[in-house]
């Protein structure tokens, strides 16, 4: 498994460029995906994105697998008009808190900014196998040995 590319590296710059091109090409499409449309807003013909940039795909999977506590999300503040970035508390019943005052007029720009923010926050070793937690039934969780 590869580490997340360090700041200023050509791999990181390439990944950011590909993500930005994908978000720009998806303007006008309902929902969000990291695909590059041949014609903006038309997903019938694709020419890039996570299918052709495997490192970007792996980094996105690692970002999405991080803890819910502090995860960045998009909140639609006016239906189909305004979006803002917020951070989850990780506690049921506690609403997310907005990050900054920036208001977006489309979801794609907010998605790209979240990608950049997550990239800055994640250490290069995030999601590496040595940090894997096997889940809910570990020996040190006071489960009876069977």
If we measure between CA atoms, which residue out of 66, 59, 45 comes closest to residue 132?
A: 66
User: Is 5 a domain residue?
Assistant: no
Contacts of residue 23, defined as CB under 8 A and 6 or more positions apart, other chains included, come to 32, 34, 108, 109, 111, 112
Question: What total of structural domains would you count in the chain?
Answer: 1
User: Is 105 a domain residue?
Assistant: yes
Range of the domain at 84: 10-128
pLDDT in single tens digits along all 146 residues of the chain = 667 888 889 999 999 999 999 999 888 877 778 888 888 888 888 888 887 888 888 888 877 776 667 889 999 999 989 999 999 988 888 899 999 999 999 999 999 999 999 988 887 777 666 666 665 555 555 545 55
Residue 115: what pLDDT? 93
User: Is 3 a domain residue?
Assistant: no
The dihedrals phi and psi of 122, each to the nearest 5 degrees, come to -75, 135
Q: 4 and 124 in contact (C-beta within 8 Å)?
A: yes
């Amino acid at each position: 498994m590869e580490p997340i590319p360090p700041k200023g590296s050509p791999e990181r710059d390439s990944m950011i460029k590909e993500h930005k091109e994908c978000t720009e090409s998806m303007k006008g499409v309902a929902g969000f995906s990291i695909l590059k449309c041949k014609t903006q807003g038309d997903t019938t013909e694709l020419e890039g994105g996570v299918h052709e940039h495997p490192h970007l795909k792996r980094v996105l999977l690692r970002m999405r697998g991080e803890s819910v506590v502090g995860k960045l999300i998009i909140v639609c503040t006016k239906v189909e008009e305004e979006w803002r970035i917020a951070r989850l508390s990780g506690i049921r019943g506690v609403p997310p808190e907005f990050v900054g005052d920036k208001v977006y007029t489309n979801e794609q720009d907010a998605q790209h900014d979240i990608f950049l923010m997550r990239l800055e926050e994640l250490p290069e070793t995030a999601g590496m196998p040595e940090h894997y937690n096997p889940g809910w039934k570990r020996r040190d969780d006071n489960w009876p040995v069977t």
